[in-house]
Chain A
């Protein structure tokens, strides 16, 4: 399949990329890993007049820990994050990186591109909203750092200006006695998940849940913070009854639609099951247990 014709521009630096976007106008788009954009272009659901390729800019792929933060260069590939020891220090981040699509897609797709694309079914958005995440962005007029909570505006839409690009993703290291888990259910490895649940919590004294964030993926136009569900658990003991109430609140918060991946009713049942398991797994990890989580599909 052929994409609509476009002109191709290779940027040597972030500044040059921004300036190219300015010059080429609103119909120009950035391309990084291309694993979301290229399929959209081939289906003609996106028809940029020009592409600005940032893959040749060096020094944008680093993953490192500093000042209590995990820092990801915008071009860090999912596979780099999967293999990174630093990134594995936050288990929910590893859950995400290790199961996105398949090996080939993880080898190309980038964390910065995933956030900037704001695909409603993207994995990183849901996972990183459970953590204190911010996005460092730059444009010729200057730099700013945006909290991820304020970054997404709508499906496929962020607050980024046309000439503004993501340079780094910053994730604050969670406090002691924290744990998280990401569960994404998909029909096979290469496809987007049918539904996903990301839970990150911190235990306090007497086994209470000191803090928690619950985010639902693929069941709305954006990843959904299930704040009511969080309120049910915050400051309370994680007993069966409480968890059931939180799960019910999450189920109500979901806004799924019927599509080829399943009916809205089916997705509500699925999201409830995923949230319940993710809370339990997050709790066990917060206690220091080594347990597996991540994407689930036939043949895994």
Chain B
């Protein structure tokens, strides 16, 4: 443990106010996993590459391994735990399940958030826009074909709502 002064970080996570007193070097992903016990957000590479730690911070996808927790002060955070409503899967989750858009599932939380963000900006994405929208999320199982299919299916489903 270092002797630097700890910082109180107050955020809203999936609509709930949360706070923790942390060392400034605590990463946002560690704040979520270690302090708030929200382990749905994964740590893959821990080097700003793989996107497994992707969350929404103030409506924008962010690699939570590349934000120090105090930088998120006052922020509105959505993690994979916040996607379903009243026990019902979010349409993006449903589409990933139906299209087999995952195999081992490690990258899935990040991909779900990236897809939610993409469809919020671009409700009817072209193939190219889908590729670009999920380019910051690495999947080592699927080869991406079914992920792209799932994004397309989610776009159609969300259009109906």
Quick one: given A6-B4, A189-B136, are A34 and B66 in contact (CB under 8 Å)? Answer: yes
Chain A CB within 8 A of B126 CB: no
Chain B CB within 8 A of A79 CB: yes
Say yes or no: A8 contacts B24, CB within 8 Å: yes
Say yes or no: A53 contacts B70, CB within 8 Å: yes
A6 to B23, alpha carbons, bound, how many Å? 9
Say yes or no: B25 contacts A31, CB within 8 Å: no
The stretch from A102-110, A126-134, A171-179, A196-204 touching chain B is A102-110
A55 to B62, alpha carbons, bound, how many Å? 15
| Residues 35-53 of B at the A interface (beta carbon under 8 Å) | 46-51
Q: A interface, how many residues as a size bin? A: 35 or more
Interface SS of chain A: loop
Say yes or no: A7 contacts B48, CB within 8 Å: no
Quick one: given A8-B24, A103-B136, A108-B66, are A190 and B48 in contact (CB under 8 Å)? Answer: yes
- Nearest CB in chain B: distance from A39 CB, A: 5
Quick one: given A3-B25, A6-B24, A7-B5, are A103 and B61 in contact (CB under 8 Å)? Answer: yes
Say yes or no: B24 contacts A38, CB within 8 Å: no
A interface with B by C-beta (< 8 Å):
1-8, 10, 31, 34-35, 38-39, 41-43, 51, 53, 55-56, 79, 101-105, 107-108, 188-191, 297, 299-300
Name 27 interchain pairs, CB-CB below 8 A, sorted by A.
Answer: A1-B46, A4-B25, A5-B25, A6-B25, A7-B5, A8-B7, A8-B68, A34-B66, A39-B47, A43-B47, A53-B70, A55-B71, A56-B73, A103-B114, A103-B132, A103-B133, A104-B54, A104-B62, A105-B63, A108-B62, A108-B67, A190-B48, A190-B49, A190-B51, A190-B136, A299-B135, A300-B132
